[in-house]
Structure 1
Amino acid sequence: MTEQQTMTVADVVPAPEPVAEPALSPAAPRRSRRVLWAVARWTAAVVVCGGVGAGTAMGITALDREDVPGLATESDGRWEYPRLRLPALPVDRPRPFGDDNEGEIHHADVRQLLLPAPVGATVDPKTNGGFVSTDAYLSLYGKEYRAEMKQALADSTLRHIAARAWTTPDGTRTSVHLLRFASVAYAQQYHDETLRGGYGTVGLKTLPDGVDGFVMDSFTEGIKVRDTKADAFWERKPYGPEQVRWAYVQAGDTLALVTQTRKGGALAVPFQQTVTLQNQLLG
């Protein structure tokens, strides 16, 4: 209500005689209305903006991070693997590192312990989860090592080698070989004496084909799988068109070899991911 509308009859004073200056009282209500309308408009604007801001904040909060423009998390380089499951065991057979399995024997079919290829990879039809020959496995190593390695495998009563290989769209070729021996003692002997050159040796006695120098990778220290041990290496510069990364996983009666090669340089993240997952499957 305006000022005039709130006045009582007793407050009304007779109008004076006309004077030269025009009366200002009739303009006051119009000015007050203009001020009130302006205040009302600004108040409404503030309320609307506040509501829109709150609504936007609530909307962003409700979205997944990947759905908000500009906030999507970029891939860290890991591959997408199928959901991994340990294979079923024969009846009354324990896991390899259970308290009732002193021999640390893998009773599951070793082929079922191979890591599957990641999503989008092209699997090598000749190395697709089956058994491979000793020569096929030895072809990964330098020619100068193969004769001695072949004799060592024959002496260690190697049972069989299962393997899978694939190539991802970025050109990385991965191979996984699982060597299953007659006992954990033979598996360790082959690893320690033939591959490493003696128990406790820091270096390597045998190297992948074309590799002259290497650096030991320390990421395996973070792999915590009971009663297993992993050692990883990468080819030191200078190297040829491709770089090699490889790792060994000792797990009871089974020894795994994981290799990755890529033109220009093998990437660390997918290699570490692959080695870790294969280690978990063997544990």
Structure 2
Amino acid sequence: MTEQTAAPTDAVAPAPSTLPEATLPPVPQDPPRIPAEGPAPAAPRPPRRALRAALRWTAAVLVLGGLGTGTAAGITTMDRTDVPGLATRDDGRWDYPALSLPALPAGAPRPFTDFNTAEVHHADLRRLLLPAPAGATVDKELDGGWVDIARYVAEYGKDDRAALTEQLENSAPRHIAARGWTMPDGTSSRVYLLQFNSVAYSTEFQDNLFDNGSLPLPLAGMDEPDFDEGWSATAGAEFTAAHAYTEPEPHGAEQVRHSYVLAGDTLALVVHTRKGEAGTEAVPFHQTVVLQDQLLG
């Protein structure tokens, strides 16, 4: 905004004339005209005090501009959580402990190396289960140990359990490990790891779960699953394939979310359920799937 400068009040008044009053010319009513051919008058010099004030303001603007530029450059080079007041707010993720891969037996390769064509996980399968997050109440039946086929197929509807049992018995899984817990908000979580003799067996069993369709068999307590639109298929680790599904609205007494993670010889099933109209939250579900995927990858 342009400021209007008042006329200086400290200008020196002209000295009184010493000529007789009669010889003074009459005071003109209008300012005299400047002849067109005459030279342009020089601009009056500003008072020194006004000049010094202008210089001080110019210097202040330059300093503040430099500080602002430096601050902006500093913020762009900092992590968001390092800037006071810009830390990411709690988005609903659970507080899982730090994860680490278990040690492999001496000489055993990783599942996705060139020397492991069957893509076998040689680590203890129970050590590859995702641990429960902080604040969870651990399921005593699913405490991270081994479970049998009957416990696994209990996650599906009664009409599908017999066929699934037969398929698993024919595929002869080596191990099934499981862990479950319940969060303070009532969300129940269960993770199953099914380990087969090779990636061919795990892939075949996963294909059977889809029953020649694009959507898998529904789990117990849900009508039909639907694709989880908030899930990105690229969120998993390399060499793995993770797909997520949810129970669409309106759901029943509880909402069910589940995901399959195919990682070499092992197939993971991640299940989240929660009673009430609010249903399950997408953020902790996706977080659980991603972390379990990384442990298998």
**How high is the TM-score relative to the length of structure 2?**
0.70
Q: Does structure 1 residue 156 correspond to structure 2 residue 171?
A: yes
Match in the other structure for 2:239 = 227
Total equivalences in the alignment:
254
2:200 — aligned with what? 185
Sequence identity (%)? 51
Give, in whole Å, the separation in 2 of the partners of 1:210 and 1:217.
17
Q: Is the 8 A contact 1:217 1:232 kept in 2?
A: yes
CA distance in 1, matches of 2:257, 2:158: 18
Q: Aligned pair in 2 of structure 1 residues 66, 249: CA closer, same or farther (>3 Å)?
A: closer
Bigger proportion of residues as helix: 1
Structure 2 distance, partners of 1:213, 1:237, is 11
Q: Describe the superposition over 1:53-83 as per-residue Cα deviations: whole angstroms up to 9, x where unpaired.
A: xxxxxxxxx9x97799865542011112111
Give the SS at the match of 2:174. strand
The reply on whether 1:268 has 2:282 as its aligned counterpart is yes
Aligned with 1:256 (options 268, 274, 277):
268
Q: For residue 51 of structure 2, what is the aligned residue in structure 1?
A: none
Query: How do 1:205-220 and structure 2 match up within 5 A?
Result: 206-218=217-229, 219-220=231-232
**Distance in 2 separating the partners of 1:166 and 1:229:** 24
Unaligned runs of 5+ in 2: 1-73
Q: Deviations over 1:215-259 (max 9, x none)?
A: 112524122422211111000122122111000001111100000
Contact 2:215 2:226 in 1 (8 A): no
Which residue is 1:140 aligned to? 155
Alignment match of 1:169 (pick from 184, 201, 209)? 184
Relative to 1, partners in 2 of residues 1:186 and 1:72: Cα closer, same or farther, differing over 3 Å?
Answer: closer
- CA RMSD in angstroms, aligned pairs only: 3.5
**1:11 paired residue number:** none
Q: Which residue of 1 aligns with 2:138?
A: 124
- Structure 1 runs not aligned, ≥5 long: 1-61
Q: In structure 2, what is the equivalent of residue 109 of structure 1?
A: 124
* Higher mean C-alpha displacement, 146-155 vs 216-225: 216-225
For residues 84 and 112 of structure 1, the distance between their equivalents in structure 2, rounded to whole angstroms, comes to: 10
Q: CA deviation at 1:213?
A: 2.1
Task: Work out whether residues 132 and 138 of structure 2, in 8 Å CA contact, stay in contact via their aligned partners in 1.
Answer: no
State whether residues 114 and 164 of structure 1, in contact with CA within 8 Å, keep that contact through their aligned partners in structure 2.
Answer: yes
